[in-house]
């Protein structure tokens, strides 16, 4: 479900380079209390039922039903935590970096790779052992800072982001001096549009920028 929704957000010829989530520590810390309560309720219901069955007490039915209803509470909250973790994704495409969260109501934060100014990575000693950390992305947009906390394999994420940004800058770079290469540069931009690296809007904007230099 999360994968289908992600694909629906992709622009024409936009490709996903890397998708990751919060480290499994986040999920484990969220559901450990629910697992504890499930075990306690199950054990208490089981022993209570056995004790009441031995004395043939009429309260046996109510104990079993009550235990079952109590079990539904931690099961429901644990399921919610698992779905929250599953649907919170961090994505790098050939055009932008995105953060998607929410099960039904979705929250999406994305930044164009062109606007990414700096990337800061923080990994604790425990994070180095279990391979998780924080990635802070500084952009030129109004949001300013986009922080991805405790994600899996932060080094791979940062490397993929830097490579995607470098590739985009390399393919859509515009010469700042001289006009002799502008027609050929427009031709290259047209090729990139055909390959799907540039959208029609991006192509027209780059083309206008180039023509203004002639």
Beta-strand relationship, 145-152 and 89-93: unpaired
Structure confidence at residue 146 (pLDDT): 80
Task: Identify whether the C-beta of residue 74 lies closer than 8 Å to the C-beta of residue 6.
Answer: no
Q: What is the pLDDT of residues 20-48, one digit of tens each?
A: 999 998 899 889 999 999 999 999 999 98
* pLDDT tier, 178 (very low <50, low <70, confident <90, very high otherwise): very low
pLDDT at 141: 62
Q: Are 78 and 86 in contact (CB under 8 A)?
A: no
pLDDT bucket at 176, cuts 50 / 70 / 90? very low
Q: What is the mean pLDDT of residues 157-171?
A: 84
CATH topology of domain 2-22+88-172: PH-domain like (2.30.29)
Its pTM surpasses 0.75: no
With a cut of 70, say whether residue 175 has pLDDT above it: no
């Amino acid at each position: 479900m999360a994968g289908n929704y992600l694909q629906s957000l992709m622009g024409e010829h936009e490709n996903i380079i890397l998708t990751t989530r919060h480290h499994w520590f986040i999920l484990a810390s969220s559901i450990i209390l629910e697992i504890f309560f499930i075990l306690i309720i199950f054990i208490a219901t089981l022993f209570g039922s056995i004790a009441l069955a031995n004395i043939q007490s009429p309260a046996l039915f109510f104990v079993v039903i009550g235990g079952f209803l109590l079990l539904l509470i931690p099961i429901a909250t644990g399921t919610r935590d698992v779905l929250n973790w599953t649907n919170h994704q961090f994505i790098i495409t050939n055009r932008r970096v995105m953060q998607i969260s929410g099960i039904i109501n979705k929250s999406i934060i994305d930044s164009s790779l062109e606007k990414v100014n700096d990337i800061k990575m923080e990994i604790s000693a425990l994070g180095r052992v279990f391979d998780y950390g924080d990635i802070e992305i500084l952009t030129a947009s109004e949001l300013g800072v986009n922080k991805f906390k405790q994600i899996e394999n932060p080094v791979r994420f940062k490397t993929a982001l830097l490579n995607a940004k470098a590739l985009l800058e390399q393919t859509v770079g515009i010469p700042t001096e001289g006009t002799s290469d502008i027609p050929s540069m427009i031709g290259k931009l047209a090729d990139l549009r055909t390959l799907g690296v540039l959208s029609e809007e991006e192509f027209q904007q780059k083309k206008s920028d180039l023509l203004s230099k002639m």
